[in-house]
Chain A
């Protein structure tokens, strides 16, 4: 069989399954889903606001007819509760999804996830400490604390989890993350128990919830998320090279050290800001990359943009479910854990943990 016949036989198959076409389709479906869910998110909630009221409020707000002083309760609810909440769900989702993709690529570990690796717990503990020691509540300082906490934990989990015995094993990294996460959650639990006023300040986001977020918090975390997403969007080619192993990456002209540093910056900014905004949400960064890899293949040039679409869909779904499943609202983090843990078990069974 000559090379040409092989090529000719392969070509139609490649064309049918070409990542470009499939991904365009995925992007279209994703966009429709995202817009639909945003719409649903604006219309569902504990108060029974009729749909036309929501529509009229939104249209008059968009036309600039509603200055902040002249709003009645319903308009306040829609514009200052549901709208920020929806925007936040989209941003937080995008951040966690991209962070998951970057983390899994950097560590070459299919089990990497900001929640499992304790990065979110680090951000949370830093905020608890800041709240206990300095009385920090919300605003820029709160986000900075979360980012610093995320950075410290990300670096230490990576160093401990990838060095030494079983250093290459995906499970050791997860174990390190869980161990550090358990230690930190114990410490922050103790701090919140000992200082009730700290508990009062942090309890609203300790379970991972998007409830009751205001415009202020949104604008505080937005710059961090934007910078993190910008870095993540610059990385795909470098991450593709890194996936081949450090030596091959160097041979291809990539600089693994620089890539890792940039990836670390992106992960830290994204996880820190997302946690500062929504509290620890686990498993988004684990589920989304895997689902997408099955759909689009391992190319990071597609994976990262797609994750920016798919993860917000997931977070919005979790948030809407959290609102409607029980009478009192569930934290969205509970829903994501409920959906995500089976994925972790399935991945573990499938291939991630070899018998070593």
Chain B
């Protein structure tokens, strides 16, 4: 966008180019169908496609690798319905839900992260940092301490806890407007506070309940079944088109509230829709697999760097998220490790490393420019 404006200014100054001609960045193709028009960035499309292919390839690797010694042809046979009962149970009941969940869940987390980052105008404004995951964990623990556990109670409590934490952080950071950095530091504070509260709750709970909640709290996809995948798929189908339809308004809002309002965008409505969809997506993944760290933070930023776009975009972010979570899962259950790790630990290491790199490169780019 900046390139186009400067080019326009330059042409206005020199007068070489006729007025009213819109200049596009190299690699951007405009498409007009009767009254409607849109632009396609060739590089973005290519990179998104490459990311999708990579994610699917890793997903396929996750399908065929594992301790059961099932080959690629066996897997294919099981998927097509022509394998013996044991093989098809391993493939269809154990591996397939997990693989589909990592693909969809990664995409969902990344899209939610992109929305949060866009709305807070800060790469660190992701649900992890704002304390959503810790709050979800607190909700699950609280409900467990009252004696409710199960397929329905834990997820619902997690969603409620996450939402309440999000609202709390927002209110605590509110001081005549929400500054990006303040919301992040307040979020870190609330996370640490709830984290210690969680540790306290763990000591109060019965050992068995505490153990089952603790497994959930590490962020693991080990116990994913189709019953977890279907709600995720439903929410994703419901929210993703809505979010995509608002993406254009979202990008305009990144220029600042006043400018966006001047362009006729109903700010609060877009914000409410995007935040609600984002929270729903994070909640449904968190409810099934526990808090998976940092995918929402890292995936949109990595996609942004690869596509070279001016701000976070939903589709490349989704593809990146799917690739990131499937790869983390592949590493987590890789055979060279003596024990299977929760996928949340891998994403924590990858995400933490990326965050450090982000802060380092932030320093370097400034030095180079001054």
Assuming the contacts A183-B356, A186-B349, A344-B188, asked whether A356 and B363 have C-beta atoms less than 8 A apart, the reply is no
The segment out of B40-48, B155-163, B338-346 that lies at the interface is B338-346
Distance between Cα atoms of A126 and B356 in the complex (Å): 18
Question: Which of chain A's residues have a CB closer than 8 A to the CB of B294?
Answer: 182
Assuming the contacts A193-B345, A337-B195, asked whether A348 and B182 have C-beta atoms less than 8 A apart, the reply is yes
Assuming the contacts A171-B184, A179-B359, A334-B200, asked whether A341 and B352 have C-beta atoms less than 8 A apart, the reply is no
In the complex, whether A338 has a CB less than 8 A from a CB of chain B is yes
Within A137-185, the residues touching B (CB, 8 Å) are 160-161, 163-167, 169, 171-172, 174-176, 178-180, 182-185
B22 to chain A, nearest CB (A): 32
In the complex, whether A345 has a CB less than 8 A from a CB of chain B is yes
Which of these, B124, B189, B367, contacts A344 with CB under 8 Å? B189
**Contact residues of B: prevailing secondary structure:** helix
Distance between Cα atoms of A180 and B188 in the complex (Å): 14
Within B277-305, the residues touching A (CB, 8 Å) are 293-294
In the complex, whether B273 has a CB less than 8 A from a CB of chain A is no
Which of these, A164, A171, A175, contacts B365 with CB under 8 Å? A164
Assuming the contacts A163-B367, A342-B193, asked whether A194 and B186 have C-beta atoms less than 8 A apart, the reply is no
Closest 4 CB pairs of A and B: A164-B363, A183-B352, A341-B193, A186-B348
Question: Which of chain B's residues have a CB closer than 8 A to the CB of A116?
Answer: 188
A182 to chain B, nearest CB (A): 4
A148 to chain B, nearest CB (A): 19
B366 touches A165 (CB 8 A): yes
B199 touches A330 (CB 8 A): yes
A116 to chain B, nearest CB (A): 8
Question: Which of chain A's residues have a CB closer than 8 A to the CB of B189?
Answer: 341-342, 344-345, 348
Question: Which of chain A's residues have a CB closer than 8 A to the CB of B338?
Answer: 194-195
B363 touches A348 (CB 8 A): no
Question: Which of chain B's residues have a CB closer than 8 A to the CB of A334?
Answer: 196, 199-200
Distance between Cα atoms of A167 and B172 in the complex (Å): 25
B345 touches A338 (CB 8 A): no
Q: Mark B179-192, 1 if CB is under 8 A from A, else 0.
A: 10110111011101
Number of A-B residue pairs, CB cutoff 8 Å, is 143
B193 touches A167 (CB 8 A): no
What are 15 residue pairs bridging A and B, where the CB atoms are less than 8 Å apart in the complex? A160-B360, A164-B363, A165-B362, A167-B363, A182-B355, A186-B352, A190-B345, A190-B349, A283-B192, A337-B193, A337-B195, A338-B200, A341-B189, A342-B193, A353-B179
Assuming the contacts A164-B366, A282-B192, A331-B199, asked whether A179 and B345 have C-beta atoms less than 8 A apart, the reply is no
Question: Which of chain B's residues have a CB closer than 8 A to the CB of A355?
Answer: 177, 179, 181-182
B180 to chain A, nearest CB (A): 9
Within B134-185, the residues touching A (CB, 8 Å) are 172-173, 175, 177, 179, 181-182, 184-185
Assuming the contacts A111-B185, A165-B363, A190-B345, asked whether A182 and B351 have C-beta atoms less than 8 A apart, the reply is yes
Which of these, A183, A345, A353, contacts B353 with CB under 8 Å? A183
B67 to chain A, nearest CB (A): 17
**Cβ-closest chain B residue relative to A165:** B366
Q: How large is the interface on B (under 10, 10 to 19, 20 to 34, 35 or more residues)?
A: 35 or more
Question: Which of chain B's residues have a CB closer than 8 A to the CB of A88?
Answer: none
Distance between Cα atoms of A40 and B125 in the complex (Å): 44
A167 to chain B, nearest CB (A): 7
Question: Which of chain B's residues have a CB closer than 8 A to the CB of A10?
Answer: none
B363 touches A180 (CB 8 A): no
Question: Which of chain B's residues have a CB closer than 8 A to the CB of A160?
Answer: 356, 359-360, 363
B181 touches A356 (CB 8 A): yes
Distance between Cα atoms of A70 and B366 in the complex (Å): 68
Question: Which of chain A's residues have a CB closer than 8 A to the CB of B179?
Answer: 353, 355-356
Q: Which residues of B contact A (CB under 8 A)?
A: 124, 172-173, 175, 177, 179, 181-182, 184-186, 188-190, 192-193, 195-197, 199-200, 203-204, 293-294, 337-339, 341-342, 345-346, 348-349, 351-353, 355-356, 358-360, 362-367
A175 touches B349 (CB 8 A): no
Question: Which of chain B's residues have a CB closer than 8 A to the CB of A195?
Answer: 338
B196 touches A175 (CB 8 A): no
Q: Mark A27-42, 1 if CB is under 8 A from B, else 0.
A: 0000000000000000
Question: Which of chain A's residues have a CB closer than 8 A to the CB of B355?
Answer: 179, 182-183
Distance between Cα atoms of A328 and B199 in the complex (Å): 12
A178 to chain B, nearest CB (A): 6
- 7 additional contacts, CB 8 Å, given A164-B364, A187-B349, A338-B200? A160-B363, A169-B181, A171-B181, A186-B349, A341-B196, A349-B173, A353-B181
Distance between Cα atoms of A337 and B364 in the complex (Å): 34
Distance between Cα atoms of A344 and B195 in the complex (Å): 14
Within A277-331, the residues touching B (CB, 8 Å) are 282-283, 325-326, 328, 330-331
Assuming the contacts A111-B185, A194-B337, asked whether A183 and B360 have C-beta atoms less than 8 A apart, the reply is no
A201 to chain B, nearest CB (A): 17
B186 touches A349 (CB 8 A): yes
In the complex, whether A61 has a CB less than 8 A from a CB of chain B is no
A49 to chain B, nearest CB (A): 23
**Cβ-closest chain A residue relative to B182:** A353
In the complex, whether A276 has a CB less than 8 A from a CB of chain B is no
